[in-house]
A and B are shown apart, each in its own frame.
Chain A
Amino acid sequence: MIREISTKEIIRTVKDLCIDANYNLGNDVLLAFDKAIENERSEIGREVLKELKENARIAREEKSPICQDCGLAVVFIEIGQDVHIIDGDLTEAINEGVRQGYKDGYLRKSACNPFTRKNTGDNTPAIIHTEIVPGSKITITFAPKGGGAENMSRVTMLTPAAGLEGIEEFVINRIMESGSNPCPPTIIGIGIGGTFERSAILAKRAILREIGDRNPDESMAKIEEDLLAKINKLGIGPMGYGGSTTSLDVFIETEPCHIASLPLAVNIQCHAARHKEAVI
């Protein structure tokens, strides 16, 4: 059975997700703040974490953006193969949702021409990742991505011989070199495998996971835990002022890659880890 879904519903959904994601920090992050406040060794670090918790409360209650950087509009859309989209262009519908959400939600528009730096004025175009899946539903995940942490992210093509050791070394160096810039405590998304571009998308998908959610593959889950422990020994701490809470979690996503390659992407997410999902 083909199910018809109107672009009008998509526009409405995307608009609501833009506003919800920017005003309301996820409970997983709030719980991670609480845990970090208990465990953080640095007094200044604990003060910062308390400010972040208080900031999230104010944003939620006053319906204001958690962070002034309301990000580029990253949209993951999974379209059931039995869905027929009616009433116009899907891409334009997503962009219209972003346009309305950023205007009506008083969100900052941060999209600009890479050379002239002229702002597009409405935070479009959205960065859209589309996947066709079985079924007759559409799942939209909206993840506004701030510039500070995104700027610290990297893709590299390691040699297969580099192995796990090479992967860990690259990740730890990246975190160390990023220091205070990406607004720690951060969440680290790691994409391993695929191709050059695929590894980056895997890393981006990884940061959408809930804090505490482990990779179903036990060996990957262990690497996630080990890396998190190593990162939190670096001493960078909340906002880089020194401390034991540098990252809240590490998520790894993997896919098979070419026999000659070991693609690795590290996508850093600031503590304002905003993402909301809706199913139509």
Chain B
Amino acid sequence: MPKQIRLTTPLSNEDIENLKIGDKVLLNGVLFTGRDAAHKRLFDLIKKGEDLPIDLKGQVIYYVGPTPAKPGKPIGSAGPTTSYRMDPFAPTLIGLGLKGMIGKGNRSQEVIESMKKYKAVYFGATGGAGALIAKRIKKATVVAYEDLGPEAIRRLEVEDFPVTVVNDCNGGDLYKEGIKRFAIE
């Protein structure tokens, strides 16, 4: 089994420094959701110098747009969306204290450099495993941009939310390492 680490948000620099690519992490505590439209709105507020609806310090943003919750369930299916679309916004948010991002797929060099500079980490969640991941989300509350529907910012309370470290704060990249290790010439 890969190394398993249990962490509770908010994350500290020390938490981040201990993470290496390929580590399996079980996240507990609070995650905030945000994808394309929410990122654009946060970014516009920052540009105007206005306050954000959430304090990003030490927090983790999960790139997800869940399905509607069935009656009696906190949330619908909730797997990650592809992260590169959030790349133009991520360095700014990391600069404001964001410690973790959860998504799937490659990040830009700018995002990777920001993670190194400010001690942040990029976690991969298993794309397409929306039904499985939803079981680890115990509560979901919309905290901003309700009009965006699935793209609204939600505060999620999670238990042992399963992720894998894709980019650590030392510039490690599981996607690149994985190919190096398993490619056959």
Contact = CB atoms under 8 A, between A and B. Distances in A.
Interface stretch (B10-18, B46-54, B127-135): B127-135
Interface stretch (B69-77, B91-99, B112-120): B69-77
Interface string A27-63: 0000000000000011110011001101110110010
Given A235-B178, A235-B182, A242-B178, A107 B104 contact: no
A70 interface: yes
A106 B130 contact: no
Contact of A55 (B66, B128, B166, B174): B128
B176 to A, nearest CB: 9
A271 B128 CA distance: 7
Nearest to A229: B184
Interface residues of B, number: 50
Interface stretch (A91-99, A158-166, A177-185, A215-223): A177-185
Nearest to A232: B184
A42 B67 CA distance: 31
A106 B184 contact: no
B158 interface: no
A242 B149 contact: no
Contacts of A180: 104-106, 124, 175
Most interface-central of B24, B36, B64, B68 (chain A CB within 10 A): B68
Nearest to B182: A235
Nearest to B75: A68
A109 B175 CA distance: 31
A258 B164 CA distance: 48
A38 B53 CA distance: 47
A221 B64 CA distance: 38
A148 B77 contact: no
A52 B129 contact: yes
Interface in A99-119: 106-110, 117, 119
Interface in B117-160: 124, 126-135, 149-150
Interface of A: 41-44, 47-48, 51-52, 54-56, 58-59, 62, 64-70, 106-110, 117, 119, 146-148, 151, 179-181, 183, 233-237, 239-244, 270-272
Interface of B: 1-2, 22, 24, 36-37, 64-70, 76-79, 81-82, 84, 104-106, 124, 126-135, 149-150, 162, 164, 166, 174-175, 177-185
Given A47-B24, A181-B105, A234-B179, 10 more contacts: A43-B1, A54-B129, A56-B131, A106-B67, A148-B104, A183-B104, A234-B183, A240-B124, A242-B180, A270-B128
